[in-house]
Amino acid sequence: MTAALHYFRWAFIVTAAGLILCFWLGWSYSGTIGGALRFLFVGTVLAILEISLSFDNAIVNANKLKDMTPVWQRRFLTWGILIAVFGMRIIFPLLVVVIAAHIGPIAAIQLAATQPDEYARIIGDAHLSIAAFGGSFLMMVALSYFFDEGKEVHWIAGLERRMSAYASIRGLEVAALLVIVMIFAFILPEPVVGTFLFSAVAGLLTFLAVEVLGHVLDASQEAAHMAAKGGVGAFLYLEVLDASFSFDGVIGAFALTQNLFLIAIGLGIGAMYVRSMTIMLVERQTLAQFRYLEHGAFWSILVLACVMFGQTLWHVPEVITGLLGAGFVGLALWSSIRWNRAGA
C-alpha cells in the first residue's frame, strides 16, 4: 500500500496546491467564505470527474509506454503531461473561443475572466464539432485494437475473436466508422450535418495522419538512432489520444462552472492522478499481471466514442460516461483476478 502511494506523491502535492488556489479564487471573486467554499467544492468535483473519465486513458498510455525507450517514457511523462494539462485544459478552450468568436487570444482570456457565461455559450456551440471529432478519433483507436490479426488474448471471447479474424480485410475499421458516421448524419438535423461530417472526417484523418507520421518519423529515427525506435510516433499518438479523452471532461466541466481558471485547476489536478497511475502501471507492470485490464480500457474507449457521437443528438450526463468507463475497467480487473486464481 505504501509503495503504491509513493507514485501519487506529486499528485497529492498538486492537489493541495490546487485546492488552495480554488479557495483563493473563490474568495477573490466573491469576497465571502461561502463563495470560497463553493469554488473549493466545484474544484474537487472537477478533479474527481477528470479521474473517473481518464482512468482508461492511463491504461492505454501505459500500454504504449511499455514499448518505448526510457528516454521517451520520461519525455512523455514530463513534457507530454505538461502539454496535456496546460494545452488541453487551458489552451484548447481558449482556442475554441478564438476560432468561434473570431477574436484574439488576449480577448478570449478577457472574455473568460469578465464574461464567463458568454464564454461558456461559445464553448457549448462548438460541442457538436468537438464530439464528432473526438468520437471519430477514439472510435478508430478502439477498432484498431480489436481488428488486429496478431491479437491472441480475448476477454469478451466470442466477439473479440471474430473481430480479430476479420482484421485481414483491409480498411474494415475505417469502413465501420464511416457507416456509423453516415447513420448519425442521416439522423441529425440538416443544418448541422455539414459541420458534423467535416468534424468526423477530420477526426478520422487526424488518426490516420498520426499513424502515418509516426511511422515515417520512427523509421527515420531508427535509421539514425536505433535506440529511439517507437519514440516520436508513440509520443504524437499519446498526445492526440489524450486530447480526444480530454474533450469530454472539458465540455462537461462547463456544466458545473463557467470559470475557465477553476476548470483548469480542477482538471489539472485530475490529470496529475492520470500521470501517477500511468507511471505505476508501467513500473509495476500491472498490465502484465492483469490479463484483461487493457481490454477493459479499450472497450471503455469504444463506449466513450459512442457516447460522444450520441452527444450530438442528446445530452449524456458525465457521471454516466464515467461510470460506464469505470465499469468496463472494473469488470476486466475482476476477470483478470479470476484468471490468475484459476491458474494458481
Residues 19, 21, 26, 32, CA torsion sign = positive
| pLDDT interval class at 122 (50, 70, 90) | confident
Q: What is the pLDDT of residues 51-99, one digit of tens each?
A: 766 666 777 777 777 777 777 777 777 777 677 666 766 777 777 777 7
Query: What is the structure's pLDDT at 142?
Result: 85
Q: Which of 236, 215, 208 is nearest to 84 (CA)?
A: 236
Average of per-residue pLDDT across 133-152? 84
Query: Is the pLDDT assigned to residue 196 strictly greater than 90?
Result: yes
Chain centroid to CA 319: 15
- Residue reference for cell 471471447: 157
Q: Bigger pLDDT: 213 or 329? A: 329
How far apart CA 49 and CA 326 sit, in angstroms, is: 11
How far apart CA 213 and CA 49 sit, in angstroms, is: 33
Query: Is the pLDDT assigned to residue 35 strictly greater than 80?
Result: yes
Chain centroid to CA 13: 23
Query: What is the structure's pLDDT at 54?
Result: 66
Query: What is the structure's pLDDT at 228?
Result: 44
Q: What is the pLDDT of residues 264-308, one digit of tens each?
A: 888 888 778 877 887 887 777 776 777 887 788 788 888 888 888
C-alpha cell at 320: 454516466
Q: Bigger pLDDT: 48 or 21? A: 21
**Domain boundaries defined on the chain:** 2-343
Mean pLDDT of the chain: 78
Percent of the chain with pLDDT over 70: 81
C-alpha cell at 241: 489520444
How far apart CA 264 and CA 258 sit, in angstroms, is: 11
Considering 106-115, 158-167, 177-186, 238-247, the range whose residues carry the highest mean pLDDT is 177-186
